[in-house]
Amino acid sequence: KHFALAVALRCCCFLFLLLVISSLALLQLFWSSSSNSQNLKNNSKLQQIVLPRSKMGAKSELFGVFRVYWSLLLGNIVEWYEFAVYGYLATHLETHFFRGSAVGVWLGFSVTFLARPLGGILLGWVGDRYGRSVSVNLSIIGMLIGTCGQGLLPTLDCGISWLGNIGLVLLIIFRFIQGLSAAGEVSTITSYLAEVSSPSILSRGTALVNVTASVGFLLAQFVCFLLETIFGSSGVEQFAWRIPFLLAIVPGGIAVIGRRGIPESAMFLEAQEKCEGGAAHEAIFSKLKHACKYWPNMLLTFGAVTTFAVLQYGCL
């Protein structure tokens, strides 16, 4: 009965969000049509600009990006693996940390979403100020600390009440760190891949961010399923729930080592030379002001991401 109610509620939420997105799409089309006349005037000038074709094939270019920046993609898989493991182990964490409260364990999961806007701003600023390489290294290290830390926490089962309470507080802190890191990872890697990918592979290059994130979710589900198969529910409940958190240290460590040597993009280095001191801040505000002109598109994107998030996290 409760399962049917939950499914019905999710369907209603999905239909509502679909209605919102459809309305935003119509609004965006109306907004775009009003500016078509101005765009037609500029077409004659734009047609004179011809982007140079790369002598390499698209597959070769994409492989070249992967060969140099593989550590970014591996780190992104690890980050979202770590992010999803909590959701797949929620029933066990509910017993060990939240005294059997399902509401409590999912509130703990929601802490990461509160931290993500802040993480995107902070690590985005670090990436713009000190370099993309610095930002992606901070994000993967923060994610490893938050994830492996969860696997080492004391629980309420240890027999010492105050130690179990400390474990709960640290769990929330580690989840907050994960949220900061996950947000900074997405924004910085997307910028990185967009800057190093040529126009002929730009969409495929940036699409690797979502592809590797989905691989991370799938990998987390596979590891948790494998543990249930090997140790059984009782074994996972007793000790094996810690294993998925601790396993992240191996691929995460490889990603950290690989990210130490990745070069900054030529586009970033060129922009950094042009914008120094106050000029950098003026450039940022100028771009934000320009982006606000496309607020219908931004609302449409917001609705699309909201729908995607409801479907993705609702299936955990």
Tens of pLDDT, residue by residue over 192-235, are 888 877 777 777 777 888 888 888 888 998 999 899 899 988 89
Q: What would the pLDDT profile of 53-82 be if each residue is shown by its tens digit?
A: 444 456 677 677 777 778 888 888 888 888
Q: Cβ atoms within 10 A of the Cβ of 270, count?
A: 11
Query: What pLDDT was estimated at residue 244?
Result: 93
Are the CB atoms for 196 and 69 separated by under 8 Å? yes
Q: How many CB atoms lie within 10 A of CB 117?
A: 12
Q: How far apart are CA 150 and CA 34, in angstroms?
A: 53
In the chain, how long is the greatest CA-to-CA distance?
76
Least confident window among 10-19, 54-63, 244-253, 304-313: 10-19
Provide the pLDDT confidence category of residue 245 given band limits of 50, 70 and 90. Answer: very high
- Please, which residues have CB within 8 angstroms of residue 314's CB and are 6 or more apart in sequence? 10
For residue 51, the SS3 value is coil
Q: Which of 197, 223, 225, 248 is nearest to 76 (CA)?
A: 248
d(CA 233, CA 245): 17
DSSP 153: -
Helix, strand, coil share (%) of the chain residues, nearest 5: 85, 0, 15
> Residue 278's pLDDT is what?
52
Between these two residues, 168 and 305, which has the higher pLDDT value?
Answer: 168
> What pLDDT is attached to residue 71?
83
